[in-house]
Chains A and B, each alone.
Chain A
Amino acid sequence: MNDMKTRGKFLDMDTFEAVRIDNVSKYYGAVAAVKDVDCTVQSGEFLTLLGPSGSGKTTLLMMLAGFTTPSEGQIWVDTKDITHVPPEQRNFGVVFQGYALFPHMTVFDNVAYPLRLRKMPARQIRQKVEQILSLVRLDAYADRHPRQLSGGQQQRTALARTLVYDPILILLDESLGALDKQLRGELQQELKALHRQLGRTFVNVTHDQQEALDMSDRIVVMNEGGVEQIGTPRELYERPNSRFVVEFLGDSNLLPTSLAFGGTDDPSRSALIRPEAISIGASDTKPTGEDQMMVRATVRSTSYFGSDQLVEVALDSGLTLRVRVNSAHAIPIEEGGSVSISWERRNLHLVDN
């Protein structure tokens, strides 16, 4: 891969159908940081790698970027094997954890850097940089140095520096992780809008499930180096295929099948019911339909969140369930009080134990 042709080819390539991660593993000594990952990034989608700390997200992203070489497996862009193509020839964009802005350059020079490397004429550079800086609303900050920027402005500078040369794939590593909650929410919306506007392909790493659910077209849930499940946010939330995904995404209750459906128990599986799918009523409420399951319970505790309320109830069997009650239709609930709780069988989802 030492000839200029490869370099030229990659810089010329401006679309692709899919980036394929083909059975990739990465070992550090005996430890598998990434193990047998199979996954495809579709052109134009916003894909999120979600998983707890140490699950191999950064390692996988760095293999996509070209900084880490897989121990096994290949990475393909359509029919091209790029496993051993160095990062500078991939024409991907990377927003690093901590942003990695050049401290000795102004915002303008940071953003102009990739264009200067591509030997673009100065006038054109000025035009492109100004255009992209106004896109991320940083026009007024062009002459500042990174240390003179807030966290959010640094993040947007890093994003601008990555978008300015139209990379075919944009990789982000916890790019919002260091920001406070409100700012993170704002930047999530901005990033989402940018994705829609530019139609580029994004791969985002996060361990924030809310961010993943909100922004992604599809999510790859990772655990201990492997892929646990891939799907749209809705699929993962409503039809998780393992206890890990259940517990990692959103709030959940896992019930023995006999209790959930009535009838005999299946010890190999549990039934998932989300807290918002459980209703709570006065203790003398009667079941209303065939599909409904109803049991008596005692209120253990309540937490008030404004728009809704999280109620913890204990069944006679000792099992505790979490119930999310919309504040608009709440019945009076007091701790220690007796209530009836109910759910529809169709809202249950079976997972293997």
Chain B
Amino acid sequence: MTRSQFAYILPVLLFLVLLYFLPMFKIVGISLEFPDFDLKHYVKLYESNAVRRIAWTTFVICTATTIITVFLSYILAYDLRFASPGRQKFMFMLVLLPLWTSALIRCVAWLILLRQNGLVNEALMFVGAIDTPLELVRNKIGVIVGMVHFLVPFAVLTLYASFRDIDERLMQASRSLGGRRIDTLSKVFLPLSATGVLQAVTLTFVFSLGFYVTPALLGGGRTVMLSEYVSVSVLQTLRWGLGTAICIVLAVLCIGLVLLSQRAIKRWNGAVA
């Protein structure tokens, strides 16, 4: 790299160091009681029943969210991939629209829809499907609904990008050889979309681990996830050591997941394409 090239990337480098790496080091430092090297927060984290319970809740919610999100997004992205250009434009608009709305507003909207006397419950009672209102919010269901809603656009875009790389002639070949739509989908499209699905799963899961506003609002304080617990530790109970330790564990987990999935994708591509 020449000196002038270095000068060009210097601002970005400074930006990263000042606003990203320094705080990260600081967080690592706090969690280890710098300048000591004390693992007590990590030990506490491991031994605490509360943390264990919250971690389990987080895992369950994130897994459910990921499965539902990727499933719904797969259908959407598949439809997008083969839609006419006009319909594609329209669908993209619908998919991207939620991204322009603030997370807070979306949560409140869901709250209004899903609460005891909300639109969904009223409608179900009106048609006589239920007698008493369902508990749709201030619990896991509410959190999952909100998170899925937030994550679907990201998963759709990831999947769509990978679907576009699948040569349409492969699908045509399958049809010309006598394959019905379902044969072509299950024997050709699905296997070829495996890496895209893995990418979407990783992205969705890692993203969902960091959710904070949505669980806080739609969980109604009863469904606490790790990120919210970090915020409570840092802002309310002032247990910075514990909070930062959770952060570090989450970060390591995310990096590990991403690396693992990249390796799997590479291996798969090596075997196939």
Contact = CB atoms under 8 A, between A and B. Distances in A.
A88 B167 contact: no
Interface in A80-124: 86-88, 90-94, 96-98, 100-104, 113-114, 117-118
A165 B272 contact: no
B53 interface: no
Interface in B184-220: 187-188, 191-192
Contact of A104 (B167, B169, B183, B191): B191
Given A102-B188, A117-B178, A165-B178, A96 B169 contact: yes
Interface in B158-184: 167, 169-170, 172-180, 183
Contact of A88 (B169, B178, B272, B273): B178
A94 B179 CA distance: 13
A125 B120 CA distance: 54
A95 to B, nearest CB: 9
A103 B176 contact: no
Contacts of A280: none
A103 B273 contact: yes
Size category of the A interface is 20 to 34
Given A113-B187, A117-B183, A147-B273, A104 B178 contact: no
Given A114-B177, A117-B177, A165-B177, A100 B169 contact: yes
Interface string A54-94: 00000000000111000000000000000000111011111
Contacts of A161: 177
B170 A100 contact: yes
A10 to B, nearest CB: 10
Interface in A121-144: none
Among A87, A92, A98, A162, residue most surrounded by chain B Cβ atoms (within 10 Å): A87
Contacts of B273: 103, 147
Contacts of B175: 67, 86-88
A296 interface: no
A345 interface: no
Nearest to B171: A100
Contacts of A162: 177
Contact of A145 (B169, B174, B272): B272
Contacts of B172: 65, 67, 87, 94, 96, 100
B170 A93 contact: no
B77 to A, nearest CB: 19
A94 B176 CA distance: 6
A244 to B, nearest CB: 30
A103 B178 contact: no
Contacts of B271: 145
Contacts of B192: 103-104
B162 to A, nearest CB: 14
Residue of B174, B175, B176 contacting most chain A CB atoms (<10 Å): B176
B234 to A, nearest CB: 48
A300 B265 CA distance: 63
A50 to B, nearest CB: 22
Q: Which of A65, A91, A96 has the most CB of B within 10 A?
A: A96
A94 B173 contact: yes
Contacts of A147: 273
B169 A114 contact: no
Contacts of A67: 172, 175-176
Given A88-B178, A93-B177, A165-B178, 20 more contacts: A11-B178, A66-B176, A67-B172, A90-B176, A93-B176, A94-B173, A96-B172, A100-B167, A100-B172, A100-B173, A102-B173, A102-B174, A102-B188, A103-B192, A114-B177, A117-B177, A117-B178, A117-B183, A118-B178, A145-B272
Kindly list the 9 A-B residue pairs having the minimum CB-CB distance in the complex, ordered from nearest. A100-B173, A114-B177, A100-B169, A94-B176, A117-B178, A87-B175, A88-B175, A104-B272, A104-B191
10 contacts: A65-B172, A88-B179, A92-B176, A97-B169, A98-B169, A100-B170, A102-B188, A103-B272, A103-B273, A118-B178
